[in-house]
Amino acid sequence: MSLLHIENLTIEFPTHKGYVRVVDKVSLRMKSGEVLGVVGESGSGKSMLALAVMGLLAPNAKLTADFLSLNHQDLMKLTKEQRRSFIAQNASIIFQKPENSLNPCFSVGDQLRESLKLNGVQRYREQQKKAIELLSDVGISDPETRLSQYPHQLSGGMNQRIMIAMAIASKPKLLIADEPTTALDVTIQAQIIELLLQLNTDNDMGLMLITHDFALLSESTQRVCVMYSGQIMENANSQNILKSPRHPYSKALLESIPHIGERHHMGERLFSLKGTIPAIDHLPVGCRLGPRCPRAAKECVKTPRLEAVKNHGLVRCHFPLPEAQEKEA
């Protein structure tokens, strides 16, 4: 059985025009210890998906799913309280802005000790010892001093490491990283991703890496899920997607990554899709990418289904791109 199993998960929010779907029938599975990348531009519903798995959606959100299980436990069968403590023990999440996700009023030590206490470490001495261990595990120098410091006294990268330390305090089976490096410097970004991957291999911890940046995923993930407007557009092995994306949207995302020293000529513009992601209460008829798609045709006014493509994975498109020929580097 899988670590995370989602079937037809839908999230709706009430507005004065009625319910609006921000995530539409998303299905995905993660094996234990797997690294899954979830990619999509802002507003594609990838963060909502993460919050839904963690049970952190706003109380007015309406969540429906045919099946939702985490670490072999059907979450829909638990009461609210049970679900909360089960998720807290089995999954953790880190957010985009580390300085906002740590409580400014409590020291690093307070917050780490709280996490440890919730995971059954009762004695103060032991909490302190474990907290120092956790901080060293995430590569923080001088952990004893850091414990008495407050988030505002530390850098963004340092705070994100502390968030990660807090997240792994419960030895979770799944760690969701919701754009963990967006607010950080490029060099720190690489370090944080490396740290997450190292924790993934060392602890056999599943990692869901949510990002809008394909470049971050390239080597690190096993599978990639491309989301657009609340739907999964392509879900396939990451090597397949990176080498030969079959959905026009995946291709557009990949082509919008700048490469140094290749393909670009002076004055050439970086590729980007025309237009913006549609407002979620104003979706186009048929394929949601339709109006922006360079390959759109008559049939695209009919909603495409997520279908298996041979030797690849799942693609939601009437006209999947042909498999790219092996290019010599």
Partner 1 sequence: MIRIILRQLSIFASSLLGIIFIFFLLTQLIPGDPVVLNYGNLTPGSFEYERAAESLGVNQSFFDQFYLYLKRVLSGDFGYSLITNRSVLDEFLTFFPATLELSIFASLIALILGVSLGVFAAVRKGTWLDNLVMSSSLVGYSMPIFWWGMLLILFFSLDLGWAPVAGRISYVYDIEPVTGFMLIDSLYAYPKYEFAAFYNALSHLVLPAFVLATVPLAAIARMTRSSMIEVLNADYILTAKAKGVSDTKIIWVHGLRNALIPMVTIIGLQSSVLLTGAILTETIFAWPGIGKWMVEAIFRRDFPTIQGGVLLIAFFVVLINASVDFLYAVINPRMRRPK
Residues that bind partner 1 (CB under 8 A): 51, 54-56, 84-85, 87-89, 92-93, 95, 97, 100-107, 114-115, 118, 150, 152-153, 163, 166, 170
Closer of 51 and 192 to partner 1 (Cβ): 51
Closer of 162 and 233 to partner 1 (Cβ): 162
| Least distance in angstroms from the C-beta of 63 to partner 1 | 15
* Encoded tokens for 88: 């807290």
Closer of 66 and 142 to partner 1 (Cβ): 142
| Least distance in angstroms from the C-beta of 49 to partner 1 | 15
Closer of 158 and 193 to partner 1 (Cβ): 158
| Least distance in angstroms from the C-beta of 84 to partner 1 | 6
Give the HSE-up count for residue 130: Cα atoms under 13 Å, Cβ half-sphere: 23
Reference 108, options 55, 154, 41; nearest CA is: 154
Distance CA 218, CA 53 (A): 24
| Least distance in angstroms from the C-beta of 314 to partner 1 | 29
**b/e burial code for range 253-266 (CB count within 10 A of at least 16 → b):** bbbeeeeeeeeeee
| Long-range contact pairs involving 266-275 (C-beta distance under 8 Å, separation at least 24) | 273/249
| Least distance in angstroms from the C-beta of 96 to partner 1 | 8
* Encoded tokens for 329: 């580097």
| CA-to-CA separations, 6 to 172, 212, 277, 312, in angstroms, rounded | 18, 21, 25, 21
* Encoded tokens for 97: 């802005």
Contact 147, 112 (CB under 8 A): yes
Closer of 54 and 65 to partner 1 (Cβ): 54
| CA-to-CA separations, 31 to 4, 158, 180, 277, in angstroms, rounded | 7, 30, 21, 31
| Least distance in angstroms from the C-beta of 48 to partner 1 | 13
| Least distance in angstroms from the C-beta of 136 to partner 1 | 20
Reference 93, options 38, 61, 51; nearest CA is: 51
Distance CA 238, CA 58 (A): 32
First to last CA, the chain: 39
Closer of 138 and 293 to partner 1 (Cβ): 138
| Least distance in angstroms from the C-beta of 115 to partner 1 | 5
Closer of 42 and 201 to partner 1 (Cβ): 42
> Which residue intervals of 123-173 are DSSP H helices?
124-137, 143-147, 156-167
Closer of 148 and 311 to partner 1 (Cβ): 148
**DSSP per residue, 218-235:** TTT-SEEEEEETTEEEEE
